Structure 1
Amino acid sequence: MTTAAAARRRYVLITFLTWLPAGLYSAPLVLLLLDRGLSLGTIAAIGAVYSVAVVVLELPTGGLSDVLGRRPVLAASAVAGLAGLALLGLAGAVWLLMASAVLRGVARALSSGPAEAWYVDAVHAAQGRDADLGPGLARGGMAASAALALGVLAGGVIPFAWPGGATVTDAGGSGGLAGLAVPVLLAAACELVLLLVVVFAMTETRGPRPGFGEVLRGVPATVATGLRLAGRDHVLVRVLLVAAATGVGLAVVELLTPAWMAVLSGGAGRGVLAYALVAAVGFAADAAGSALGVPLTRWLGSPGRAACAGTLLAALALGGLAGTARLAGWLGLGAAGVAYLLMFLGLGAAVAPIGRLLHDRVEAAERATVLSVQSLLLQLGAAGGSVALGALAAARGPGAAFAVSGVLLAAAALTVWGLPRRRDVQPRALLLRHVGPHIPTRDRPREDRISRS
């Protein structure tokens, strides 16, 4: 059996390798596609294909992880990510880039939840249901943020440092972009490393594998059970509400900040580097905030209060962005950087408390599914926020959009202040009536197989 300390180390490594590719290819992505002759409309369509693939597959892949196991799903994610990024780095045809978007969307959906679910299952198996998950979840959040920070910095710098360099005109054109594909291919190499780590280091208790027919029957039943639990448990409803509001805030920042950085820095080329720097600072702050999650929970006395405090800080930072939207030049860049730092510091501090609240409400048989519900609501919040607040920003300016998103996030944060940590776990027989006996029990801790009232 994997010890809690070993599970934590492997979870941190897997989380870092999962998010490093996203950081590496996000900064040069648009410039790379422009350099290959694609229009902005075609690039937007490719982005939409990626988003649709993630949203459509989010819940089924979470259910697949609960039925089939964590390791095979994460291995499949790494394979899909490797293929998708290899196509993105090497292909020029639109249909191949569309295929790349689908593969990257499949990889993102498959990777949403299994690693965290595996870590929680392993700790519960080693130390029981009362084990403190906070430190491991916090380190996982730090690893994800550190990977994104390092990745986005490397992805922004490598094309300009590569022999031949890269220049970007203010009109959005480009020239001498020989190095733009390098971060993408490095991201593909990271997916290969992730695959090897998952296959050889992510131990999972083996049992009889379900047949194809059992999987087809089990995934919909597991998804339905997870959705019922997420919808009827008042703690999970509030946790998921925070996820949706967080998605709105992140979408507004990601939508408005790049163009704003270009205006403040005086050109599109400088804007790319400025945004990469500001984003890296934000991810670094997120990592620092994740380290504060556990002591903040101890200081405030409950994960609900810690989650509320961290999310409120992020909401106040969005309000600060609204206030700095009228500033110009380096003063505006500095003010935006401080607000960006505080926002991600708050979001990072809420990672571990939110995770404790969620995992104390679910069992191993539904864990990855509920995590997928959380991820899906964050993405749906992001999609809705992009459309609604993007229109508001076009009509009233970015300050109005930042302010509204801050109010929404603050309102959601207040709902988790007084949340209890534990719930009465359903008896095993009741869970089996909902899900059916076809779901294998090999990956459930022994305590989870004991009926409790």
Structure 2
Amino acid sequence: MSEARGVQRTYLLLTLLSTLAASFIWGINTLFLLDAGLSNTEAFAANAFFTGGQVLFEIPTGVVADTWGRRASYLLGTATLLVSTLLYVAMWRVHAPMWGWAIASILLGLGFTFFSGATEAWLVDALTFSGARDTLESVLARGQTMAGVAMLTGSVMGGVVAQMTDLGMPYVLRSVLLGVTLAVAFVSMKDLGFTPERGKSPLEMVRAVVRGSLDQGLRNPPARWLMLAAPFSMGVSMFTFYALQPYLLQLYGDTRAFWISGLAAAIVAGCEIVAGLLAPHVRKLFSRRTHGLLVATALGVGCLALIGGTTHFWVAIAALVVSALSQSATRPMRQAYLNGVIPSGQRATVLSFDNLMGSAGGVVVQPALGRVADVAGYASAYVVSAAIQAVSLPFLVLARREQAPSDHIEGEE
């Protein structure tokens, strides 16, 4: 059991470091892009190029995870994020043209695709191999709490640092933390319970990954409906999170109060912490995981509409808290449901494909909503976001009808 505890410690430490590094810029990223000379449409187009990079590289990096190993994929992702973050800083200083931001954003997307699927697959296989007694859902909930602590700390510090220095300094601090993450992962992360599949050509592996994604993903009904819901829910969440930065400043009445942007990200992080702690209790409120997902999504739709419909800063903050709590509390349910309907051999592949589906939605949704914000304002963009997210509800109903074994909570230890 000591090996299982070691796996959990490594997972939680890497979650802490990587989220802390990433969150230094989450509170001010949109302001950073606008300060670099981009319009709202261009800023969210840069974010769309980021998610486009995720779509483009999800399958090739899934091949890396399944051939070179999950550890190798994680190390490559950290190194890529480090380089592309420094590139962001350099372009901000020279007010680079849009094509430069497009390239750098695609590289950032590449870095995160090395993480997606591989990290969670590493955890699941290593826990199974080491005979862990804790359920996957409980470990994921602890990871979410750790991520919330890191996000709370990083987003507040990022906003304060930007207020005291400039909007580029949080990116420099992010680069330093990514270097620390790279060193820790190199020393402590080991592939357990998984043997990389070697001997095939890269093209053969890509074909195998595509087949696995289709067979265990879109052709697997319980997984299919969750994946088809992802473009509408995840695509909207990317926009609404980053749009909070300038929109809350607008509602607050001071466009230079960068700490407000950090506060918004900190609220989301605080909700992550609380939801992670409450997750074991929240799951007892539902007999099935899809029930929890439906309730959380419906609450999210209503909160987005309220954020767009109000002119009061604190009403928007209250709606943000309710939305963030409901989404965070049910995220482990979604992960447990999906992991329960895919086999170990294709886990990294299918999880990466699930992320790809969400990223594909972001490629279309973010620039479209950015254009709405340019033409009609952020309030209108949030109302449109609510309508788009509502489209995911029918897919969750279809997932519920599949009666998947991992959907049922009653009777689980």
Query: Is the TM value for this pair above 0.5?
Result: yes
Match of 2:345 in 1: 365
Aligned to 2:60, the other structure's residue is in SS state: helix
Amino acid at match of 1:294: P
Residue 69 of structure 1 and its aligned partner are, at CA, apart by 1.0
Q: Per-residue CA shift, 1:9-29, capped at 9, x if unaligned?
A: 211221222222221123344
More divergent stretch after superposition (143-152 vs 353-362):
143-152
Separation in 2 of the partners of 1:297 and 1:30?
Answer: 35
1:183-217: CA deviation from partner (whole Å, max 9, x where unpaired):
11111111111111211111224998766854442
Paired residue for 2:10? 10
1:420 to 398, 404, 410: 404
Could you say if the C-alpha distance between residues 145 and 245 of structure 1 is closer, same or farther in structure 2, counting changes exceeding 3 Å? farther
Retained in 2: the 8 A contact 1:249–1:385?
yes
- Contact kept? 1:252, 1:405, Cα under 8 Å: no
Q: Gaps (5+ residues) in structure 1?
A: 163-178, 424-453
| Larger CA Rg, structure 1 vs 2 | 1
Overall identity of the aligned pairs, in %: 23
Q: Aligned equivalents of 2:395 and 2:319: distance in 1? A: 20
Q: What is the root-mean-square deviation of aligned Cα atoms in Å?
A: 3.2
Q: TM (normalized to structure 1)? A: 0.77
Q: Which amino acid is the alignment partner of residue 234 of structure 1?
A: P
Contact map agreement 2:129 2:193 (CA 8 A) in 1:
no
Does 1:120 pair with 2:124? yes
1:86 Cα deviation (Å)? 2.5
| Aligned twin of 2:140 | 137
Alpha carbons of structure 1 residues 136 and 35: separation in structure 2 relative to 1, 3 Å? same
Separation in 2, partners of 1:182, 1:247: 28
Alignment of structure 1 residues 19-418 onto 2, 5 Å: 19-32=19-32, 38-40=37-39, 46-90=46-90, 92=93, 94=96, 100-127=104-131, 132-162=135-165, 179-205=166-192, 214-254=201-241, 256-270=243-257, 272-308=258-294, 312-328=295-311, 332-387=312-367, 394=375, 397-398=380-381, 400-417=383-400
Q: Which amino acid aligns with 2:283?
A: T
The answer to whether the 8 A contact 2:156-2:266 is kept is yes
- Cα 1:51/1:152, change in 2 over 3 Å: same
From the superposition, tell whether residues 303 and 206 of structure 1 become closer, same or farther in structure 2 (CA, over 3 Å).
closer
Describe the superposition over 1:13-51 as per-residue Cα deviations: whole angstroms up to 9, x where unpaired. Answer: 212222222211233445555656x44376566544433
The one-letter code matched in structure 2 to 1:9 is R
Q: For 2:237 and 2:194, how far apart are their aligned partners in 1? A: 41
- Post-superposition Cα deviations, 1:379-432, rounded to whole Å, max 9, x if no partner, equal 222333335556667569346324414533444444444643259xxxxxxxxx
Rounded Cα–Cα distance in structure 2 between residues aligned with 1:391 and 1:100? 21
Distance 1:210 1:241, change over 3 A: closer
TM-score where L is the length of structure 2: 0.84
Match of 2:411 in 1: none
Asked which structure has the greater RCO (Cα within 8 Å, sep 6+), the reply is 2
Q: Name the SS for the 1:26 alignment partner.
A: coil
Would the alpha carbon gap of residues 45 and 410 (structure 1) be closer, same or farther in structure 2, given more than 3 Å must change? closer
